[in-house]
Amino acid sequence: MPQMIEVSFKGNRREFFVWGGEEPPALRTPVIVEVDRGEDLGVVHATGELAAQRKAGTTHGKAAPATLTAALRLATAADVAIAESNRVEEDVIRRRAIEKVRSQQLEMKVSDTEWQWDRRKLTIYFTAEKRIDFRQLVRQLETSFGARVQMWHIGVRDEARRLDGVGRCARQFCSASWLPELRPVKSSVAKDQRLSTLNPAQISGTCGRLMCCLRYEHEFYVAQRKRFPKEGKIITTLAGEEKVVSNDIFREQVTLRDAAGESRTIPLTALHRELGGEFVEHVVDAPSSDDGDEEDELTAESRAPQRAAPRAPQRTPPPSAPRTEATRPPRTESPRPPRNESRPARDESRPERPERPERPVRPERPRRPSGPPIPERPVPAASTPPVPDAAALPPTDETDDTSPDAGDETDVTAPQGGEGGLRRRRRRGRRGGRRGREGGAPPAGGGTPDTPPTTGS
């Protein structure tokens, strides 16, 4: 009766085949199987029900075709020798492929090469951050080795699985030893396990991605934390209201802290019993005896009377009728001591402090204006012209020579000795004004420095 077997090849590559014999071969037995374009040599990894279970739960099993190919026969010693010679030559081929890649300046990294047992196909595994046009490289390699060349783009985790190695736990990579498939690992998985994600290097493997062990241990952490109360939550136990400080899911212990700041650590089962109404005391630091649980119970019972009794829950009194003056009890006023008697008497023997001399009163300073001082404009001193005698003046006509129609330059609208006259005189004739202001002496013929001399007729 044909049976299903799982065969592993180089680089932890596994495929499923059908064995036509009555009994399947033993594990780790080399066999010759039929593959695309020829034959290949592999090692039996699983048989029977285990192989059928792995085909239903692994990635390479789900991607297997509906009709599996057949395993031809058991491998002989000569077949194994041919496979070993191919493995030695694969290292040389990998170096030559790297030289071809560098000559063409392709941004790719050649990870591994694998010969098919009959040397009809050569598979080259590489990693790259983006798509690479390697058609010219394939032509050169096929010409050099005389076989069909297949380029296979893999990820960094698949590369670590093929090359194998030792992790930080000093054991073989899980992906290369027993992990059936490589599932994606998210950062939320590390947060659920209370691991810091600030430094990704601490939770990353050799490949630079998050460690695979975070993924298959995640279910254990999720299932365990469902049994514990949430950290930071306030719960009501027989000791009163307490806050959950931390949970130890491996030892199954809970650390609580009450309102007074006192902490205690009790097992998870004891906490469930306290929440159910039964008080249980547990001290983690007490040394354990060889008698087992019986002595622990006796120790707890002997220690129970020393602990303060648990506080009873506060009950709200029932509503009562409002008090009236008749039902209200009379107030008893206690005599209060006077204020002076409550204070201590002054010590007369204590010397009195000398009085301080009075400071002289300083005279008030005149206040300065807040703004800058406004400079005063100089006003020219008006010289009073001598008044001639009326008898000495010649007779004048009725017509006034100083009228505006007479053609004089004097402005009759402003006083001749004032500031307005200076401005008008300065505008009409700047020379006369300057001479009059600079000289300071009245001009000849009488008059002021700002007015022209007057002549008699």
pLDDT digits (tens, 9 = 90+) for 6-24: 999 998 888 999 998 888 8
Phi, psi of 14 (to 5 degrees): -130, 145
pLDDT value of residue 403: 43
**Span 141-198, pLDDT tens digits:** 999 988 999 999 998 988 998 888 888 888 889 888 887 778 888 888 888 888 887 7
pLDDT value of residue 294: 38
CA 250/CA 258 separation, integer angstroms: 24
Identify the residue whose tokens are 């031809």.
Answer: 72
Fold for the domain defined by 81-154:
GMP Synthetase; Chain A, domain 3 (3.30.300)
Q: What is the DSSP letter of 146?
A: S
The alpha-carbon radius of gyration of the chain (Å, integer) is 57
Is residue 134 over pLDDT 60? yes
Is residue 347 over pLDDT 90? no
Averaged pLDDT score across all residues of the chain: 74
Mean pLDDT of 69-86: 92
Phi, psi of 225 (to 5 degrees): -70, -20
Confidence of residue 378 (pLDDT cuts 50, 70, 90): low
Confidence of residue 257 (pLDDT cuts 50, 70, 90): very high
pLDDT value of residue 282: 40
Candidates 400, 398, 426; CA nearest to 451 is 426
CA 6/CA 18 separation, integer angstroms: 9
Confidence of residue 379 (pLDDT cuts 50, 70, 90): low
End-to-end CA distance of the chain: 164
pLDDT value of residue 279: 39
Mean pLDDT of 49-71: 86
pLDDT value of residue 372: 64
Number of neighbouring beta carbons within 10 Å of residue 358: 6
DSSP H/E element including 341: helix 339-342
**Span 207-222, pLDDT tens digits:** 888 888 888 788 889 8
Give the start-to-end residue ranges of the domains of the chain.
3-75, 81-154, 181-225, 234-286+297-303
Candidates 317, 318, 321, 283; CA nearest to 299 is 283
Residue scoring higher pLDDT (241 or 390)? 241
Number of neighbouring beta carbons within 10 Å of residue 446: 14
pLDDT value of residue 113: 94
Confidence of residue 66 (pLDDT cuts 50, 70, 90): confident
CA 70/CA 58 separation, integer angstroms: 20
Is residue 128 over pLDDT 90? yes
Is residue 72 over pLDDT 50? yes
Confidence of residue 344 (pLDDT cuts 50, 70, 90): low
Contact present, 448 and 385 (Cβ < 8 Å): yes
CA 210/CA 216 separation, integer angstroms: 12
**Span 398-442, pLDDT tens digits:** 444 444 444 444 444 444 444 444 455 555 555 555 554 544 445
Candidates 205, 109, 120; CA nearest to 153 is 109
Residue scoring higher pLDDT (337 or 35)? 35
pLDDT value of residue 137: 92
**Is 0.75 surpassed by the pTM of this model?**
no
